[in-house]
Chain A
Amino acid sequence: MEFQFQFDWQAAINSIPYLLKGIPYTLLISFGGLAIGFVLGIIFGLLSINKKWFFRWPATAYIEIFRGTPILVQVLFIFYGLPDLVGGPIDPLTAGIAAIALNSGAYISEVVRGGVQSIDKGQTEAGLSLGLSRSQTFWSIIWPQAFRRMIPPLGNQAIVSIKDTSLFSVIGVGELVRQGQVYIANTFTAFEVYFVVALMYLAITLSLSLVLRFIERRGLASV
């Protein structure tokens, strides 16, 4: 039996308009989730380095739980498990955004912690010795320096989270992979369609990398 495979360019091109419909969902879940995750990351990252154990302990628990369990399990839990608790269904889009937010928030907490702890203790001492309060010292001296150092790992997390949204096809949210699966079910062109899907992820992540590199260069130039 002779087996020959031919890449069907026409099939690939034909799939594009249908796949593009998934991109707004992919971007909405990624960036919506990351925006909330950033806020969670600042809150829990700072709590995790607080001197008082009753702030530190819950923050550390949150970070460990969401870093230590798979995001797929997290989203399944939110979508299928949580409705039992809240007494009503959760729509897939909300579940997806919540999963990215909680998951990236845990990683971003660690980025925030590392960034803040990397700033020399002398900076805090200089601020305090000038009469600034602890919070003035933090927000006008430590945070701006720490944030600059956080940009590369934050970019990294954004790319990871964008790719993580591909898992949410399992809860039926119409993002990129889900669109691909539906399309393939009707056309049986898995190779071509997944190839295009992969290219679309690559286009998103590469654009983000370029933007980040630009920001990094501008941010570091002044120091």
Chain B
Amino acid sequence: MTQIVQMRGMNKYFGTLHVLKEIDLTVEAGEVVVIIGASGSGKSTLIRCVNGLEEFESGKLVVDGNELAPKGGNQKALAEIRKEVGMVFQQFNLFPHLTVKKNIMLAPRKVKEAPEPIASATADRLLSRVGIASQADKYPSHLSGGQQQRVAIARALAMEPRLMLFDEPTSALDPEMIGEVLDVMRELAKEGMTMMVVTHEMGFAREVADRVIYIHEGQIVEEGKPADVFDNPQNERTQSFLSRVLSH
């Protein structure tokens, strides 16, 4: 199998705070890896390192054959990685001055220099795929949270990424809209997309993940198949975390 992400002994600090400690993690092509953990455990920081939104201080990080250097070195590899890795944010981060369709077309037009008709056709296809073809010419502020997040997924997919990062994609949504976003992600996983997902949706993790990783204070303390991690956690920290989040 092809390794899409390879982390070896990765360390990350915010000032004196050691937020990621000796992270070793491999993600294979087609794998769905769900990262769980308490807030402040470093799980978001971990996936933000993958596309260089956060720099790391030491260790090794290779994404689809491009090796990133610590402290933001190797800008060339970083540029390659960002073309190949899509990201979906908690707060959607859609571009409010552009219509839904223009949001999706921007990166293909600017980065891949795709011709207008091709970028437009791609945008239409992706909007149908996430079920909001009828909203193409609206501005993001006129859409519901669930619809906005689906646009954000389509926007990332427009670059035909090899890996998708999801940073708590449903945490800012009203409860009734979480399902529609998870459905799109479930479809994506089924189609074989490689995904790293930070989430608090334990049901989704159990159902969709090939592997679940539990992070505690910047360390991977448990890793395994969802059934093993959820039903038979080995580490007592995982046990206590799961008992807190699953008990209600």
Contacts and interface: CB of A to CB of B under 8 A. Distances in A.
A148 B96 CA distance: 12
Q: List the 3 shortest-distance A-B pairs measured between CB atoms, nearest first.
A: A130-B107, A126-B93, A122-B93
B107 A132 contact: yes
A122 B97 contact: no
A140 B85 CA distance: 20
A145 B156 CA distance: 21
A130 B82 contact: yes
B111 interface: yes
A129 interface: yes
Contact of B96 (A125, A140, A223): A223
5 contacts: A125-B93, A126-B87, A129-B87, A131-B107, A144-B97
Contacts of B159: 130-131
Interface string B88-128: 01010111110000000011001100000000000000000
Contact of A123 (B52, B79, B86, B93): B93
Contacts of B111: 130-132, 136
A125 B53 contact: yes
A223 B97 contact: yes
Which range contains the number of B residues in contact with the other chain? 20 to 34
A11 interface: no
Which range contains the number of A residues in contact with the other chain? 10 to 19
Contact of A148 (B82, B89, B97, B107): B97
A46 interface: no
B155 interface: yes
B97 A131 contact: no
Contact of B156 (A130, A140, A141): A130
Interface in A82-137: 120, 122-123, 125-126, 128-133, 136
A125 to B, nearest CB: 6
